[in-house]
A and B are shown apart, each in its own frame.
Chain A
């Protein structure tokens, strides 16, 4: 039950709501807000926002905020600036992290320097170069201030029931530091391992920063979508046309869209004839005719006629707003995938702890002395912490993304590189991804007695001045075929129907077959073209039919081979399109795709992705249009064509610069190579430390061995990652 619709100008306000944990909370807030007179609210759980429209004479922002607070949540007005604020906050957090890293380097360097000196001077490392209290002073801030994040991360992970890299790092470094601190404070005659704890923290932090740089910004996609929304509309008020802010429109308002302008809100055409470019919302590659009774959508572009429309959906009820909401929810609901490194650490921690315990028990039980038992058990934990662990993944991914970029596969979201090899189904958008997204002339069917190139010449000549994509396709074909065009006279364009003009003294009409039929010109049958999914342009000369021209959006040359390659990789290819079924079937057949769905709306595409994800499959999605954004955001790994819309590229994990679906196969191949590299790196990161465990257990550990393990593992991991530079994309002959 909603409140009465606001009669006068409506105001809107976006509220940032804090504290919502489930759909019931969001529903409750909505209910309480809608109870207020003159207020209509929609609450988005994932975005933590409420979109409220209200009549200023019946309600005000303060009362709205108070209602949300009384429901038990926090509320504040969210303006467009909030997005910018969030961005700024994240950037500041990242920069703070980088600053901490440099401080960590500064504090660790002297300790490392001492370690190198010890290598050089020989195995007897009893005499430290730096006084111990200085080492203590350097290592302590690194351990607890800079290393604090590992304690927090490790605690959260353990609370969630499993170990991860943070746990391993916290455990190992804390043991090293505590042990060394006790030795220092009590002046005991043992080795200290401050450089071990400090170096591990510094290097793992480096790895985290490298990873943070490679992660995509989720807000970029939303920002790009919001930019599409026009800010003003030409609205009729009291018989006058006024320019108003789009936010003040309510359903029922009459607005006007001029030629070339973007439609401000969803509506129904009241008067006028034109066509609209809806490719961004529905994927329909050719303009859609608009006549009284037809629907128009916000952000689509009106072609060359004037349209007078009545608003049907405004604010958060437009198709565009729906797409934005879907992208937000998809991004918010994607759980971070557990990284390989964390899984390995989760196993390693209990194993190493067990070995330490065994060492302790063995020494105490057999040797009888408590102190050596404790020392050796601690030594096991110290040597077991691999400092190159944090570098294993980021170095491989950095080299991998570099190689990908060289091959035209631009990876913007590094974790995608780990997931890509697991894709078992690829959902592909038809228009602009499988096809070129451009109208091309594919058929020339002159009637008996007319020459092919004469048909083309006449049609192209009269269509020269038109910006309609069908006209442009015909003119392009004429130029490509080397047909010389004549200048037309008395050219008249009937919006949405066709053009007429005089070429070489003859009256030429080129337009939709229905239009020509209305003028009494008999048409040759269009069935063969229509069933092949072509758009038909009928041409008549001096009142008699001259022929038909078929225009279509043909398959990209590379698509068929790409589909085959993907099938060989074990990936099922499914085609989705907003286009009509006939065109879809034809393209699917040509591309070698077995499963496809036609007439799909934006929410249908993301539903198709989610359906398969719920069924347990790893879903990849390839698209190029704004209408693909929700599906791209929902997929496990998303690919955007480089020639596609800005929004698609910003939403997707990978951009295919060569506009070639082969890029997806390349990405999967690269993913496999990179994951293999990461696994090798993990081996190299652990192996030296693992070899050191027996030494530690037997009481033979000293800083030289610990330092050697650290150095060799780091060098091995980095050089191994550099070997990934040998990867090249496979190309079928």
Chain B
């Protein structure tokens, strides 16, 4: 199990946090996503072979936020 921290910009409320958590955990290979509103980041636990950083960034972008 690997961990990665992505910066997420554009979140403004608890609902936004829920959205980001939801779209990340919906990806196959992601086991857990801890999203913090104050730190503007998502700490993601995933299986290296099943999902890539690009896919995670894409999912966050598709949800309307900026991921880095």
Q: Which residues of A contact B (CB under 8 A)?
A: 19-22, 24-25, 28-29, 31-32, 70-73
- B15's nearest neighbour on chain A, judged by CB, is A21
- Cβ–Cβ contact A72 & B13, under 8 A: no
30 contacts between A and B (CB under 8 A): A19-B15, A19-B18, A20-B15, A21-B13, A21-B14, A21-B15, A22-B12, A22-B16, A24-B12, A24-B13, A24-B15, A24-B16, A25-B13, A25-B19, A28-B10, A29-B64, A31-B64, A32-B62, A32-B63, A32-B64, A70-B59, A70-B62, A70-B63, A71-B63, A72-B19, A72-B20, A72-B22, A72-B23, A72-B63, A73-B19
Q: Which residues of B contact A70 (CB under 8 A)?
A: 23, 59, 62-63
Q: Which residues of B contact A72 (CB under 8 A)?
A: 18-20, 22-23, 63
Task: Beyond the given A70-B63, A73-B19, please list 14 additional residue pairs across the A-B interface where CB-CB is below 8 A.
Answer: A19-B19, A21-B13, A22-B16, A24-B12, A24-B15, A25-B19, A28-B19, A28-B64, A29-B64, A31-B64, A70-B62, A71-B63, A72-B20, A72-B23
Contact flags B14-58 to A (C-beta < 8 A → 1, else 0): 111011101100000000000000000000000000000000000
- Cβ–Cβ contact B16 & A25, under 8 A: yes
Q: How far is the CB of B5 from chain A (nearest CB, A)?
A: 20
The CA-CA distance from A70 to B13 in the complex, in Å, is: 18
Q: Which residues of B contact A29 (CB under 8 A)?
A: 64
- Cβ–Cβ contact B15 & A25, under 8 A: yes
The CA-CA distance from A132 to B23 in the complex, in Å, is: 55
The CA-CA distance from A21 to B13 in the complex, in Å, is: 8
Q: Which residues of A contact B20 (CB under 8 A)?
A: 72
The CA-CA distance from A20 to B15 in the complex, in Å, is: 7
- B21's nearest neighbour on chain A, judged by CB, is A72
Q: Which residues of A contact B63 (CB under 8 A)?
A: 28, 32, 70-72
Q: Which residues of B contact A73 (CB under 8 A)?
A: 19
The CA-CA distance from A31 to B64 in the complex, in Å, is: 8
The CA-CA distance from A29 to B65 in the complex, in Å, is: 11
- Cβ–Cβ contact A22 & B13, under 8 A: yes
The CA-CA distance from A29 to B15 in the complex, in Å, is: 12
The CA-CA distance from A71 to B64 in the complex, in Å, is: 6
The CA-CA distance from A28 to B23 in the complex, in Å, is: 14
The CA-CA distance from A21 to B15 in the complex, in Å, is: 5
The CA-CA distance from A562 to B18 in the complex, in Å, is: 53
Specify which of B12, B16, B63 lies most central, judged by the most chain A CB atoms within 10 Å of its CB. Answer: B63
- A35's nearest neighbour on chain B, judged by CB, is B64
The CA-CA distance from A20 to B19 in the complex, in Å, is: 9
Q: Which residues of A contact B18 (CB under 8 A)?
A: 19, 21, 72
Q: Which residues of B contact A32 (CB under 8 A)?
A: 62-64
Task: List 10 A-B pairs, minimum CB-CB distance, nearest first.
Answer: A72-B19, A21-B15, A28-B64, A24-B12, A70-B62, A22-B13, A25-B15, A72-B63, A71-B63, A32-B64
Q: Which residues of B contact A24 (CB under 8 A)?
A: 12-13, 15-16
- A33's nearest neighbour on chain B, judged by CB, is B64
Q: Which of B12, B13, B14, B19 contacts A71 (CB 8 A)?
A: B19
Q: Which of B10, B15, B59, B62 contacts A22 (CB 8 A)?
A: B15
The CA-CA distance from A19 to B10 in the complex, in Å, is: 17
- A72's nearest neighbour on chain B, judged by CB, is B19
The CA-CA distance from A497 to B31 in the complex, in Å, is: 75
Q: Which residues of A contact B64 (CB under 8 A)?
A: 28-29, 31-32, 71
- B20's nearest neighbour on chain A, judged by CB, is A72
The CA-CA distance from A20 to B12 in the complex, in Å, is: 12
Q: How far is the CB of B12 from chain A (nearest CB, A)?
A: 4
The CA-CA distance from A24 to B13 in the complex, in Å, is: 8
The CA-CA distance from A32 to B64 in the complex, in Å, is: 6
The CA-CA distance from A28 to B65 in the complex, in Å, is: 9
- Cβ–Cβ contact B62 & A71, under 8 A: yes
